[in-house]
Every structure is written in structure tokens, then in C-alpha cells.
Amino acid sequence: MKANEWKWALSILFIILLAYILPYTLLTDVAKWYGSFLIWLLLAILVIGINYFLTKDWK
């Protein structure tokens, strides 16, 4: 893998780890729509954004 691929891969991995950790720790008692519901949506949108930039040069 090329250097910038590693950078993106690690960012995605980090976000996915957050998607496992946050809802089961910080947010486990937040019974609101802005708890786990929102955080999972935001993390998914973040990953989609990374994919957008990662694939920008594909021709």
C-alpha cells in the first residue's frame, strides 16, 4: 500500500473503533436521539467523506 493509503486506512480504522467504543461507554446512558443514534450517523458520514477524498484521483 502507498503511504497516503495507509493514512486513510488508519483514519477509517480509528473511526470504526470509536463506533464500537463510544456507544458502549460514554453514551450508554444517554437515552436521547442525540446519543448513540446521532454518533453512529455522524461517524458513518465521516467515513463516507474519507472515501470521497481517498478516491478523488481515480480516472
- Report the interface residues with another protein, using CB under 8 A: 1, 5, 8-9, 12, 15-16, 19-20, 23-24, 27-33, 35-37, 40-41, 43-45, 47-48, 50-52, 54-55, 57-59
Cα-based distances in Å from 47 to 17, 31, 32, 53: 12, 25, 23, 10
- What one-character DSSP code corresponds to residue 27? T
Euclidean distance between CA atoms 47 and 49, whole angstroms: 5
